A and B are shown apart, each in its own frame.
Chain A
Amino acid sequence: QSVLTQPPSVSEAPRQRVTISCSGSSSNIGNNAVNWYQQLPGQAPKLLIHYDDLLPSGVSDRFSGSKSGTSASLAISGLQSEDEADYYCATWDDSLNGWVFGGGTKLTVL
């Protein structure tokens, strides 16, 4: 059972928009920055969004992040087949004194 809650899977058609939610608490998302990672099949995770809504250099602006209270969201617009991957939210947890990950969401582009 992960500290951060994500839907196990989402699916949407190409060129559409999808959002992935990440729910936490005041000791983690409510008080710390959320980072999102993309894990393509068979590959290591890659940083996708940092500090809630910032895109690292080289990441497509089709990806965006947001946060409100104790929840965060990742949005992907203009879906492409290469976006099929697992997506993880992560943040620091003040109570656990460590980093925590969501359980991951598998994105399928129909």
Chain B
Amino acid sequence: QVQLVPSGAEVKKPGASVKVSCKASGYTFTNYGISWVRQAPGQGLEWMGWISAYSGTTNYAQKLQGRVTMTTDTSTSTAYMEVRSLRSDDTAVYYCARAPLKNWNYPFDIWGQGTMVTVSS
């Protein structure tokens, strides 16, 4: 079945970097994009950015520009998301979701279970 499998939980110190992954299966990886959405404890959903699994083109939320990098490995159908210069308010569950390549009205129809990232000294 179509699924996105996230990497495991991470604990990082302030100022460090974290790289989480999301392995896709059950569909043609390069026919879609991947969006990353995070959710701080007790808070709502925040869109972080998008990457085309076909071309590698990215689109990052303005708030995170310069601190986040999204990549894909088409040989393993895996998407990666790195956040640098971590702060305590980066503590959140990070979700990957299947997204469209071009039609921005298409929904995030498949979601991974999320990766908990804790930033603490």
Contacts and interface: CB of A to CB of B under 8 A. Distances in A.
A104 to B, nearest CB: 4
Contacts, number: 65
Decide if the interface of chain A is mainly helix, strand, loop or mixed.
strand
A7 to B, nearest CB: 13
B11 to A, nearest CB: 20
A44 B44 contact: no
Interface stretch (B12-20, B75-83, B110-118): B110-118
Interface in A14-41: 32-33, 35, 37, 39
Interface residues of A, number: 28
A48 B106 CA distance: 13
Contacts of B49: 98
Contact of A50 (B44, B46, B50, B109): B109
A44 B113 contact: yes
A100 B46 CA distance: 7
B107 interface: yes
Contacts of B105: 32-33, 51, 91-92
A92 B47 CA distance: 11
Contact of B109 (A47, A96, A97): A47
Given A32-B105, A92-B104, A97-B59, A46 B111 contact: yes
Interface of B: 35, 37, 44-47, 49-50, 59, 61-62, 95, 97, 104-109, 111-114
Interface of A: 2, 32-33, 35, 37, 39, 43-47, 50-51, 56, 86, 88, 90-92, 96-104
Q: 6 closest pairs, A vs B, by CB?
A: A33-B105, A92-B104, A35-B107, A104-B44, A50-B107, A99-B47
